[in-house]
Chain A
């Protein structure tokens, strides 16, 4: 149970939060038309006749959009409704050419499901928490009005009209901004794993309507407000925080919360009223007579299920249990699907190049990726996606370390050069002469010289001053210009010193 409370003048208040997340389905074409869906295209260049609602044009469902909604439902362990139906939501606006949005009110394609947000002590989430998801339905997006193109007129861009959205409706199960933030992050993570939405919140591919109410602990639910179209995890948290405080202030001043739609202003972090329930539209929902009910067949459902990738929770558990990674590392590597994919390729390449089992090199690969490559890329201001070091090159490098061909510190040098030149690890090692000496004969010869030259210290060591071991290692490495395999050096020294 979240311990998040708002301290009001009259005591503590609890916050109750439900989210409706709109996620744009990743598909080449729109929900009911063949027009493209690419982000950032010139206005009105991705508009089919039906998107412009020309007379007599008809919608035909795009199977790929339906497939992605079903796969998403499966990924949140939801009930998939074999029978669903499209309804029209009627209202007039210039960004809605048909005068109605095709949505699913009465029979959504996905029913009850859930996801788990992880414990995060610092954020005030003491333990893992299950958040219920009431439903997912698919619907059309609307267009965009542009008010800055002309002094007295507004322009309309219909590119987004008809793009497929999934509306993912949570239960009012969240009780703090942190939980809501964690929910949106987790949902985004799952969508990206499934590949049903790219999760680009800054491009509007994912946005949330935030329902907030407050109450005294143990009391009935309060009246809620809905803050529309919040487009980042941080803003979702800010909007909740602000809205909850505002509601507490209103209630403590003796006022009442009005059920209304509000807008979030990212510049001030506050919300303001958009319209109240009194001027709410009567949407006159009714089944779209242009579309037959959507019946999903078993084969289709099975294909959807078989196409699901390993999901984040399962992947994280596998990284910990099978690859022996720490919970922290497993968390970092599975946070985003692209990172996990990169890591798995790195692991496979490392194992292949070193001739070892993945579980033997997994920690090395995880540590290198997290503490070395991430840091280096960060410094370069680039991302894994654009990394000049590919998993193949990284795997070769790690294998050289694993096989003892180069030392760990030489490995750091190789990485730096590789980031700079993009050269192969082996090439760099050859060119820079970084190969370490593992030949016992050669090392033994050097050690003998060191022991001979420092006979007094050998005596002291044997007399009990064991801390001198490091000195002998240092002297040997120095004599070998740092190329001696430290492990071999250690072993031989130990043997010689008895």
Chain B
């Protein structure tokens, strides 16, 4: 019998529908993998094997009655622990929310359950999605299933959706939800040889997703390949009247319209992304990507995104500013952690609770955000950053007058070792240099595994598309995927 955990979303969906295996068999297989890997990889904060089984039983029952199984019928998935799940602990990987069980279900997770998916568990992440390595989680860092050739050193699975990327790469789940604020889907996908897409801002409802930076946060799928991402994104996306920034547009049939034929399409190569001292392997991979897209029929041109160099500082003003306000609600009054020292007044309780509840990176960003919004600094930082953000959006608009999609590396380096950047927040932030501009502009962008480094670690290529043109992004991603033939997977050591 085939190892069911080697199957992706489409294969499971089709296999369950065809009766090749039952949804329960699939859920049991993944549940077993989750349990076996937990100690070594720490990808999940909470495993929910019974929920995966219940959903699978429901799918099998529907099939027995000849009912429609849904877009994700019989597919168990991992849920990033930033999505509120009814009565299941939801923490954002922070001590301040430890034990918090929402009495509501996020729109995106509800959409997935409605589409027939089941939940394997809540996936670990960087605390409040702030981080690029998963080292800021209160529940211990996730360890990448990948290792450098000939080394036992522990590597970062990327972040903040590091539990998601590790789980998909290690076959603990065929797919997982991620969220991307400045690269939190694409960077971990690139680090783990998985595929992830951040759709246009507003495609997926933010209702019930613990907020980091509201104007940037966007959910998306992480899976084995482009088709699986298309299927899962269809299930996740849709207008939600409960989110005032939700896009009131129909969800296209992305899977059905997938096409790797790029004839008539133009791909832009942004010259500002070619930075001094860039890793030669990354440059070579990028050139290879250009060749693959040409092979798929696309015309390739040079484009300019002149404000690229301001994207990172802009992001590190806007995101912390919003976060400093979004995280004010964690105050020990209504839910989550409360630290009330003997004789403490309200202010003391706030201070003690937040000191104990938030990790260092979260505190750092709250401090930055509070500073840039404070009287006397607001115009110099926040207002200025908003202006630059507009310029960055305009860069893309101009570029998209000449091209349909943009090709760039996802990250400047392959996965780094755990602990390597932990004391150097700036070089940690540099990880986002290629992913942040699309986030600031709210554009759809995906990472596709495209090759291995000389050390045998996955490398990703990024496709950035026009607003609302997830189809164009997915199609270019598919063209890369078919040519890259990325079949590498981590050798099982756990």
Chain A interface (Cβ < 8 Å from any Cβ of B): 49, 52-61, 88, 90, 92-94, 97-100, 154, 156, 282, 284-286, 289-292
Q: How far is the CA of A59 from the CA of B242 in the complex (A)?
A: 8
Contact A100 B325 (CB under 8 A): yes
Partner of B334, one of A53, A56, A286: A53
B105 to chain A, nearest CB (A): 10
In chain B, residues 308-352, which have Cβ atoms closer than 8 Å to a Cβ of chain A?
321-322, 324-325, 327-329, 331, 333-335, 346-347, 350
* Inter-chain pairs besides A97-B334, A290-B245, 16 sampled, C-beta below 8 Å: A54-B335, A55-B100, A55-B102, A55-B211, A56-B102, A56-B208, A58-B244, A60-B241, A60-B242, A61-B244, A88-B325, A92-B331, A94-B333, A98-B329, A99-B328, A289-B214
Q: List 28 A-B contacts (CB under 8 A).
A: A49-B104, A54-B84, A54-B104, A56-B84, A56-B207, A56-B208, A57-B207, A58-B206, A58-B243, A60-B241, A60-B244, A61-B244, A92-B328, A93-B346, A94-B331, A94-B333, A97-B333, A97-B334, A100-B325, A282-B374, A282-B375, A284-B370, A284-B373, A284-B375, A286-B321, A286-B325, A286-B373, A286-B378
Residue of B nearest to A294 (CB): B244
> Whose C-beta in chain B lies nearest to the C-beta of A91?
B328
In the bound complex, how far is the Cα of B379 from the Cα of A285, in angstroms? 11
Say whether, besides A61-B244, A286-B321, A56 and B350 are in contact (CB < 8 Å). no
| A285 to B207 alpha-carbon distance, docked (Å) | 23
Q: Does B213 interact with chain A (Cβ within 8 Å)?
A: yes
B329 touches A55 (CB 8 A): yes
CB-based contact A97/B329 at 8 Å: yes
Q: B207–A55 contact, CB under 8 A?
A: no
CB of B210 within 8 A of chain A?
yes
Residues of A within 8 A of B374 (CB): 282, 284
* Cβ–Cβ < 8 Å partners of A291 in chain B: 244-245
Main secondary structure of the interface of B (DSSP, over half): loop
At the interface, yes or no: B110 with Cβ under 8 Å from chain A?
no
Q: Are B378 and A58 in contact (CB under 8 A)?
A: no
Determine how close the nearest CB of chain A comes to the CB of B317; give it in whole angstroms. Answer: 11
Question: Would you list the 5 A-B pairs with minimal beta carbon distance, nearest first?
Answer: A99-B328, A284-B373, A289-B214, A289-B215, A53-B329
A284→B346 CA distance, assembly (Å): 21
B210 / chain A contacts, CB cutoff of 8 Å: 55-56
Determine if B388 is an interface residue (Cβ-Cβ < 8 Å): no
A-contacting residues, B361-394, CB 8 Å = 370, 373-375, 378, 382
- Of listed A54, A58, A156, residue having the most chain B CB within 10 A: A58
When the two chains form the complex, which single residue of A55, A94, A156, A290 contacts B214, counting CB atoms closer than 8 Å? Answer: A290
B207 (CB) vs chain A CBs: closest residue: A58
Residue of B nearest to A152 (CB): B343
* A100 pairs with B244, CB closer than 8 A: no
Q: Of B103, B209, B245, B333, which is within 8 A of A56 by CB?
A: B209
Closest A residue to B90 by CB, please name it: A55
* Candidate in B214, B325, B350 with the most chain A CB atoms within 10 angstroms: B325
B331 touches A99 (CB 8 A): yes
Closest partner residue, chain B, to A86 (CB atom)? B244
- Give Cα A291 to B90, complex, Å: 25
* A154, closest chain B residue (CB): B346
* CB-CB nearest in chain B for A89: B325
B331 proximity list for chain A (CB < 8 A): 92, 94, 99
Interface string of B393-436 (1 = CB under 8 A from A): 00000000000000000000000000000000000000000000
**Residue A52 contacts which of B215, B244, B334, B382 (CB distance < 8 angstroms)?**
B334
Could you tell me if A55 and B334 are in contact, using CB atoms closer than 8 angstroms?
no
Residue of B nearest to A61 (CB): B244
Chain B residues with Cβ below 8 Å from A88 are 325
Chain A residues closer than 8 Å to B43, beta-carbon distance: none
Number of interface residues of B (CB under 8 A): 44
By the criterion CB–CB under 8 Å, are A289 and B102 in contact? no
Q: Are B350 and A92 in contact (CB under 8 A)?
A: yes
Give every chain A residue within 8 A of B328 (Cβ-Cβ). 90, 92, 98-100
**Contacts A55-B92, A55-B100, A58-B243 hold; do A284 and B325 have CB atoms under 8 A apart?**
yes
In angstroms, how far is the closest chain A Cβ from the Cβ of B122? 13
Q: Does B453 contact A (CB under 8 A)?
A: no
Is B333 a contact partner of A156 (Cβ separation < 8 A)? yes
Q: How far is the CA of A93 from the CA of B328 in the complex (A)?
A: 10
Query: Is there contact, CB below 8 Å, between B214 and A99?
Result: no
Tell me which of B207, B245, B347 contacts A292 (CB under 8 A): B245
A47 to chain B, nearest CB (A): 10
Contact A90 B90 (CB under 8 A): no
B97 at the interface (CB under 8 A from A): yes
In the complex, the answer to whether A54 meets B243 with C-beta atoms within 8 Å is no
CA distance A282 to B210 in the complex (A): 26
B82-108 interface code vs A (CB 8 A; 1 in, 0 out): 011000001010000100101110100
Task: Please report the C-alpha to C-alpha distance between residue A154 and residue B345 in the assembled complex, in whole angstroms.
Answer: 10
Q: Which of A61, A282, A284, A290: most chain B CB closer than 10 A? A: A284
Complex interface: chain B residues within 8 A of A289 (CB): 213-215, 245, 322
Q: Which residues of A contact B244 (CB under 8 A)?
A: 58-61, 290-292
A56 touching B106 in the complex, CB below 8 Å, given contacts A92-B350, A292-B245: yes
A216 to B381, CA, bound (A): 42
Query: Which one of A58, A90, A98 lies within 8 Å of B373 (CB-CB)?
Result: A90
Identify A99's interface contact among B100, B213, B329, CB under 8 A.
Answer: B329
Q: Find out whether the CB atom of B325 lies under 8 angstroms from the CB atom of A99.
A: yes
- Contact: B102 with A54, CB < 8 Å? yes
- Chain B neighbourhood of A284, CB < 8 A: 324-325, 370, 373-375, 378
Interface centre among B207, B324, B328, B334 (most CB of A within 10 A): B328
CB distance from B95 to the nearest CB of A (A): 14
Q: Which residue of A lies closest to B100 (CB)?
A: A55
The residue that B84 contacts in the complex, of A55, A98, A99, with Cβ under 8 A, is A55
Contact A55 B97, beta carbon cutoff 8 Å: yes
Whole-angstrom distance from the CB of A397 to the nearest CB of chain B?
Answer: 53
What A residues does B211 contact at CB under 8 A?
Answer: 55-56, 290
Chain B 105-127 near chain A by CB (<8 Å), digits 1 or 0 = 01000000000000000000000
Within 8 A of A (CB), among B45-86: 83-84
CA distance A282 to B333 in the complex (A): 22
Q: What A residues does B334 contact at CB under 8 A?
A: 52-54, 97
Q: Which residues of chain B come closer than 8 Å to A94, judged between CB atoms?
A: 331, 333, 346
CA distance A306 to B210 in the complex (A): 42
Which residues of B lie under 8 Å from residue A60 when comparing CB positions? 241-244
* Cα(A286)–Cα(B324), bound, Å: 11
Whole-angstrom distance from the CB of B175 to the nearest CB of chain A?
21
Min Cβ gap A41→B in Å is 19
Cβ-closest chain A residue relative to B350: A92
Q: Are B206 and A56 in contact (CB under 8 A)?
A: yes
**Chain B 213-230 interface residues, beta-carbon cutoff 8 Å to A:** 213-215
Cα distance, A416 to B90, chains bound together (Å): 69
Name the A residues within 8 Å of B213 (CB-CB).
Answer: 289
| B98: min CB distance to chain A, Å | 13
How far does the Cβ of A325 sit from chain B's closest Cβ, in whole Å? 49
CA distance A99 to B350 in the complex (A): 11
Q: Which residue of B lies closest to A284 (CB)?
A: B373
How far is it, in angstroms, between the C-alpha of A57 and the C-alpha of B106 when the chains are bound?
Answer: 9
Q: Once bound together, how far apart are the Cα atoms of A4 and B374, in whole Å?
A: 41
Give chain A nearest CB distance to B329 CB in angstroms: 4
Residues of A within 8 A of B329 (CB): 53, 55, 97-99
